[in-house]
Amino acid sequence: MLVQQTSALRDEIIRLKGERDAVILAHNYQIPDVQDVADFVGDSLGLARQAARTGSKVIVFCGVHFMAETASIISPDKRILIPSLEAGCSLSDTITAEDLRQWKGRHPDAIAVGYVNTTAEVKAELDYCCTSSNAVSVVQAIPADREILFLPDMFLGSYVSKMTGRKNMYIWAGECHVHAGITPDDVKRKLDSMREAEFMIHPECGCTTPIMYDVASGRFAGENLHVLSTEGMMRHAKESKSRNFVVATETGILHRMRKQNPGKNFAAASDQAECRYMKMITLEGVRDSLARDRFEVKVPPETADRARLAIERMLAIS
């Protein structure tokens, strides 16, 4: 019965999508049913680029709220819908626009670089936006003598500082509750049980900061350990000749990995690494978004205009 209901929902979504001239974008951390009905599945950077280039009039954004805001900023002429207004982000919540203004006031000559996991109001205060896949490149594009304020993820910031060798970076003390919750014991147990596996880790994972520093310094060169964005993980899983992988990020990505790499085995570093906000998006919610215009996300023009430059700089740097 459940399979029949899911199939009927999928058919209805496909019909409504055609009627509305809509495109469905889904993050790698979404539930499998939502990923399977999407036109594009990817990381924050990939979704932002898709939102910018699509010709569709309506975008149903299956992700968290700041992602839908980013799509609205990039494409103000399109209707951006998110299936759940409750789909927020614990990392985004760690800093406000007022927090950033005060921080900038203490460092008036610094360049503010913000992770895409921030609100539109925070983005409006940034010089550059970045994602985990291009954060190193963004920082490398900034003159070496300029101070940098990096926010809000302290673990990604520490990794970027180590990778670039920057000594003049100030890092905001924020974290993602999912990645911060992956413990060293989780990682050790899983790697001990899969000794031939490659280990892929997201740079937001605080539990493995010492490992990431060792990777950046070259200590693990040639070994089966890789610090990667979610999209970097997807590429590596496809290109690698290994058959077994331990993955340290939100568990939703395993569905796409398994789907695209039949015959390879993927295990979560922690089975508890689930983002409750990402999981608030359901097929019923996607259907209702298309059928009832629920829920539109629109950033005020003044805020959007100020935030757009930082986002465009992010999109321009690979």
For residue 102, count other CB atoms closer than 10 A to its CB: 10
- Greater pLDDT, 49 or 86: 86
Distance CA(174)–CA(152), nearest Å, equals 5
> Could you confirm whether domain 178-268 is CATH 3.40.50.10800?
yes
**Residue 80 to residue 298: CA distance in whole angstroms:** 7
**pLDDT value of residue 77:** 92
The answer to whether residue 207 scores a pLDDT higher than 80 is no
Q: Where are the domains of the chain?
A: 2-88+278-299, 92-176+304-316, 178-268
- Superfamily of domain 92-176+304-316 in CATH is NadA-like (3.40.50.10800)
CATH superfamily of 2-88+278-299: NadA-like (3.40.50.10800)
pTM of the model: 0.90
Q: pLDDT, tens digit, for every residue of 297-316?
A: 999 999 999 999 999 998 88
Give the separation between CA 95 and CA 112, rounded to whole angstroms.
Answer: 13
| Mean pLDDT score of the chain | 92
| CA-based end-to-end distance of the chain | 46
Lowest-pLDDT range of 42-56, 152-166, 180-194: 180-194
CA–CA separation, 159 vs 165, rounded Å? Answer: 10
Same fold, 2-88+278-299 and 92-176+304-316: yes
Model confidence at 275: pLDDT above 90: yes
**CA-CA distance, 18 to 14, in Å (whole number)?**
6
How confident is the model over 84-101, as pLDDT tens digits? 999 999 999 999 999 999
